[in-house]
Amino acid sequence: MQTNLLKGGRGHDIFDTPLIDLIGEHVDPGWATTHFLSFSEEKQTARRFGLRCSPEEVDRKMEHYDDYYGDGADWDFAVIEIDPYKVNLMTVAEGLYKGTHEPTLTKFKQYPGFCSMLLIDVVKTALQYPQLSNQHQVLEYAREDKEWLLLPTSPVLLNGGKVEYSGIFDGFIISDITKYKRWR
């Protein structure tokens, strides 16, 4: 699974910009090119993320979709469920958790050590930063969406010896994937 960072995002921002500012940019309104993967505690909200529609439109739009069971990539969106209990989690700060696990993707197995990620409860984290310029909007959206963010922090070695975080997430904590295909 890839973050939108691989679709034109600015990789260096994760090292140059405070994490809370990046969270603010992701939640309101720049999610299209960030390091984060968005998750919700509510399956209906996750479907809305996939459909890119308002909460009122989800049920009507879902009438045009069926579960997709094929092996190909001929599906429109997917709802991915994660199981955070599959990861060794450590609390870093209020609402911020570091997770580690053994790599399952070949890309990461070549590096010694483990895969890592940050799991971010957006509401709890944003409440800690009243200086966040768009805190009110971030809290409104995150509360409505029951939003969590996942930031892959598995290091990869680039040409020239530079290390960056991967835009690819080792999906060890995925417990289920439901793919949807529009049929009419």
139-143: average pLDDT: 94
| Cβ-contact 28, 145 below 8 angstroms | no
pLDDT at position 63 over 80: yes
Structure tokens at 152: 């892959």
Percentage, residues of the chain above pLDDT 90: 42
Q: Is the pLDDT of residue 12 over 70?
A: no
Average pLDDT score over residue span 71-90? 88
Q: What is the pLDDT of residue 33?
A: 61
pLDDT of residue 29: 65
Average pLDDT, whole number, for the chain? 84
146 has pLDDT over 70? yes
Q: What is the rounded radius of gyration, in angstroms, for the C-alpha atoms of the chain?
A: 17
Confidence label for 71 from pLDDT (cuts 50, 70 and 90): confident
At residue 129, the pLDDT reads 92
Q: Is 59 a residue whose pLDDT tops 80?
A: yes
| pLDDT exceeds 50 at position 32 | yes
In SS3 terms, the chain reads as: CECHHHHCCCCCHHHHCCHHHHHHHHHHHHHHHCCCEEEECCHHHHHHHHHCCCHHHHHHHHCCEEEECCCCCCCCEEEEEECHHHCEEEEEECCEEEEEECCCCHHHHCCCCCEEEEEEEHHHHHHCCCCCCCHHHHHHHHHHHCEEEEEECCEEECHHHCEEECCECCCCCEEEEEEEEECC
Share of the chain above pLDDT 70, in %: 88
Question: What would the mean pLDDT of 137-166 be, rounded to a whole number?
Answer: 85
